[in-house]
Amino acid sequence: MSVPFKQYINLIAKGQRAGKTLTQEQAFDAMQQIMQDKVTPEQLGAFLMLLRVREETAEELAGFVQACRDYVNPEFDGLSVDLDMGCYAGKRRHLPWFLLAVLALAGQGLKIAIHGTAEPDSKRLYLKDCLAEFGFKPAQNKTEAEAQLANFGFCYQELEQVHPKLDKLIQLRALFGLRSPANTLARMLNPFSAPYSLHGVHHRHFDERHIDAAQITRDNNVLCFRGEGGEIEFNPEREAKLHCARSGERAFYNVPPGLESWQVKPRELDLNSIKQVWLKQEQNEYAEQAVIGTISIILLLTDSDIYKLNGSEEAVKQSKFKAEQIWQQRNSANWPLK
- pLDDT for position 313: 86
E strand or H helix at 81: none
Q: Would you say 100 and 106 are in contact if contact means Cβ atoms under 8 Å apart?
A: no
Half-sphere exposure of 241 (CA within 13 A, CB side): 10
**Of 254, 250, 244, which is closest to residue 222 (Cα–Cα)?**
244
> What pTM did the predictor assign?
0.94
- pLDDT for position 18: 62
Q: What is the DSSP letter of 82?
A: S
**Of 191, 180, 203, 194, which is closest to residue 222 (Cα–Cα)?**
194
**Of 10, 179, 158, 9, which is closest to residue 87 (Cα–Cα)?**
158
d(CA 233, CA 57): 25
Can you tell me whether residue 188 is helix, strand or coil? Answer: helix
d(CA 81, CA 85): 11
- pLDDT for position 53: 85
Burial of 52 (0-12, 13-18, 19+ CB in 10 A): middle
Q: Produce one character per residue of 215-252: b if its CB has 16 or more CB atoms within 10 Å, e if not.
A: bbbebebbbbbbbbbbbbbbbbbeebebbbbbeeeebe
Residues 6+ away with beta carbon under 8 Å from 284: 273, 277
| Domain 78-328: assigned CATH number | 3.40.1030.10
- pLDDT for position 203: 83
d(CA 170, CA 119): 7
Q: Produce one character per residue of 13-51: b if its CB has 16 or more CB atoms within 10 Å, e if not.
A: beeeeeeebbebebbbbbbbbbbeeebeeebbebbbeeb
- pLDDT for position 15: 66
Block mean pLDDT (10 aa), the chain, length 338: 89 76 96 97 94 92 97 96 96 94 97 93 89 95 97 97 96 86 94 97 90 95 95 95 89 90 76 96 96 97 83 88 97 92
Domain boundaries, the chain: 5-54, 78-328
